[in-house]
Amino acid sequence: MCRSQFWMNSVICGYLSKFWNCIFRGSKSNMSAPESASTAVDLHEQTKKFERLNDHVYLLKQETNPEVVIVFFHGLLVDESEKEHAFWSTWRVRGSNDCWPITLLPTRLNSLTEVPHRIRVLAVSYESRVSVPEVQIRATDKHLLSENFIQSLVISGLCRNEELDRDVPIILVGHDMGGILIKNFIMEVERAAVTTKTEQAKLVNFLKSLKAVLFFSTPNNGSKVIEKIAGTIPKENRSELLKLMAVLGSELSRINSEFKIYRAQSGFQTFAIVASYQTRLNQGSEAVMVVEEGSARYDVDGYYSVAADHFQMCQPEALWSYPVTKLSDDVRKIAKAEREKDLEQRYQKLKAVDHVVSDEVHRQISNGKKIAIAESEKDLELEEKVKGLPQRLQELKAVPGRLYSYGLKEDEVHIDRDQDQFLLIQPR
């Protein structure tokens, strides 16, 4: 390429970057002027607060003993200035720089239960600019990205409970192209689990732990708007990932076909959140749907339309906003099922020692004593109550939040204060 042609392409790419910025940033800020210098500084300072765990993953909310792990995938970047912070700024509370997965989401979750939910929140960062001058970066395709995601999320163990060395439920959340990359990522994990011998257990367990995928305005059948504008970008500067947004594109069709077959035999759920408002391309132009509803709700178990445009849908206004309520309800249901399964497993273990402890429980009750087994032996009063009981009876404190009648044969929902024959195991 001659120097003059290179210069011309650079000018075109710069113009297109500003054009895309006008197109989509207008919808996010009601066609206001570009972000001020102070706003850019605020975003930069906020970005520094998040720990970068590896090349592709940032830690939004730490939890050393998680019961659910949530991973967010941002979408297509139309403004190059967003490249460094899109992993979290995509998911801002509307009108602020608060990241709702670590503010609104935990707040609503903890308002629904007396026992706080322990969630670890991760965010993926990847090259998703529509125009990429750097040849090496521009050549990044879906296969290379998925391989990187496998190393960064699965092999790294970030989606596991390291403290207890166990797998935990996983929820994946993606906006526009991020949703398509989630599909491809899942299929690459499935292929690797079959073909590779190294780290096979981690790959298989990741798939077993996947419980839900939430698609935010994902063009499952492509987007005419994005396809049309992508066609204006010089081929030598066009991101390879834009092929995934083409309507009736062969690569997207293959991903959809494989994913549809796989998820039909898997246990995870899929749900689409659809933007019902059009996005105005630029000032004075007609507003259009960036992702049509039919494309966004293709091959999902359920969907819901929100009163927002393509970008605002990722920016809830308050606790009652649907993205927050939907995700928090999913986390709560998944965590509840896991807690019940865990308690049932512990209960089955307790049944094995039932005959050992029931005689001692009966003797204590016959002497007019109520037996309370606490989670902490630092509680001196309760420590006195359990002193002298068999060691195996003391170990019953490992089961939180359950009330058993004498003999551990019946699980009660509420404590009956008039009943003087019970074994109470305090919650953690």
Alpha-carbon distance of 21 to 15, in angstroms, equals 10
pLDDT of residue 367: 46
Of the candidates 86, 173, 72, 184, which has an alpha carbon nearest to the alpha carbon of residue 128? 86
The DSSP element (H or E) to which 424 belongs, if any, is strand 422-425
Domain 3-339: what homologous superfamily? Answer: Alpha/Beta hydrolase fold, catalytic domain (3.40.50.1820)
d(CA 182, CA 217): 13
Q: What residue ranges do the domains of the chain occupy?
A: 3-339, 353-425
Residue 140's pLDDT is: 62
- pTM, two decimals, is 0.76
The pLDDT tens digits along the chain (428 residues) read: 444 443 444 434 444 444 444 444 434 433 223 454 556 668 888 999 999 999 899 999 999 999 999 999 999 887 777 889 999 999 999 999 999 999 999 999 998 787 889 999 999 999 888 776 665 454 467 788 899 999 999 999 999 998 888 999 999 999 999 999 999 999 999 999 999 888 999 999 999 999 999 999 999 999 999 888 788 888 878 888 888 889 988 999 999 999 999 999 998 999 999 999 998 766 677 888 999 999 999 999 999 999 999 999 999 999 999 999 999 999 999 998 988 887 777 666 655 544 444 555 445 444 444 444 433 333 334 444 444 444 444 444 434 334 333 333 333 323 333 333 334 433 33
Q: What is the pLDDT of residue 17?
A: 46
Residue 417 CA to its chain's centroid (Å)? 42
pLDDT at 93: 96
- With b for 16 or more beta-carbon neighbours within 10 A and e for fewer, the 269-295 pattern comes to bbbbbbbebebbbeeeeeebbbbbeeb
Would you call 274 helix, strand, or coil by DSSP? strand
* pLDDT in the model for residue 389: 43
**What's the pLDDT at 127?**
85
CA distance linking residue 186 with residue 168, whole number of Å: 17
